Structure 1
Amino acid sequence: MSDDLRSQLLKTGLVDEKQVRQAKSQKHKAQKGNAKKKKDRNTGPDPGVAEARKAEQAERSRHKNREQQERAERRARHAQIRELVSTHLAPIPTGDAALDYHFQQGGQIRHLPVTADLQKRLADGRAALAGLDVRPEKGFRVIPRETADRIRERDPEWPLVIPAEDETGSEPAPDDPYKDYVVPDDLMW
């Protein structure tokens, strides 16, 4: 009973002090007993729930480990590819020997200084252009075609430009009026 109700009942004479104390102690015992029962129920968790929680946590852990392992393998592959590119790259010419070689990569026209010999090798398909890193902003360098094929085997997403492949894939349309005219690769403007 609340204090206001208790005091009102005492004033009206419906209950006496003894009954009020007895009701208060019964209420206190009931609350204390309910707390013990709740505590007993919570201390003994259901074994099925605990096993399910452990299994879920183990699955999350396995998934996280798998992702970390895949990231580590991807980093190792990228390091191998960077090593391949750096060991097989052709030097960048300077001065009068340098010709600008223009190529398209990722929707952008890029250029790279090459020698006349490298330009012929690129046109023949004996050489390719490889990115120095996964991000093409790092730049491109000329590498042998065999190295480009090895890079593509390891990671098909690596930025590679193989000019001979680009030409064979772009056949002229049958109704193209200029299909009989061949534009040379080494055309200088």
Structure 2
Amino acid sequence: LQQKAIAAQVKQLIGNNTIKANGEVGYNFTDGKLVKRLYVSSRQHDELSRGLLAIAKQDEQYYLVPAAVAEKITQRQAESIVVLNAKQQQEDEDDPYADFKIPDDLMW
């Protein structure tokens, strides 16, 4: 009974806080052993990379949710959150390399 209540809370959190994923940029992520792709805007891609947005899974569907909502979902049902990147730290004002940004798509 308690698990059903938790599942209902998670469903409601996802339903009320979903951000529409619309765009042409493919964001690749893993769900278990599978690699999935969600098409998002370049802004949403950046926010996913910086940990401001997360990807939640419900009924084999993937949804974008804010990171704060994802943390609430994780407290209730951690397996529902597929992607939640760690938030990047604020840049140091005394950093001598602050003018030299590393591109997100850098290949080694």
User: Under TM normalisation by the shorter chain, which class is it?
Assistant: 0.7 to 0.9
The match for 1:160 among 69, 82, 85 is 82
Amino acid at match of 1:126: L
Structure 2 residue 8 is matched with structure 1 residue 79: yes
Percent sequence identity is 25
TM-score by length of 2: 0.75
More strand by share: 2
1:126-165 correspondence to structure 2 within 5 Å:
126-133=52-59, 138-164=60-86
Secondary structure at the counterpart of residue 91 of structure 1:
coil
In structure 2, the gaps of 5 or more residues are 88-101
Max Rg structure: 1
Shift of 1:107: 1.4
Secondary structure at the counterpart of residue 90 of structure 1:
coil
TM-score by length of 1: 0.45
Amino acid at match of 1:79: A
| Misfit runs of 4+, over 6 Å | none
| RMSD of aligned Cα (Å) | 2.2
In structure 1, the gaps of 5 or more residues are 1-71, 166-182
Alignment deviations for residues 14-43 of structure 1 (CA, whole Å, 9 cap, x no partner): xxxxxxxxxxxxxxxxxxxxxxxxxxxxxx
The size of the alignment, in residue pairs, is 93
Secondary structure at the counterpart of residue 5 of structure 2:
helix
8 Å Cα contact 1:148-1:160 kept in structure 2? no
More helix by share: 1
Amino acid at match of 2:12: E
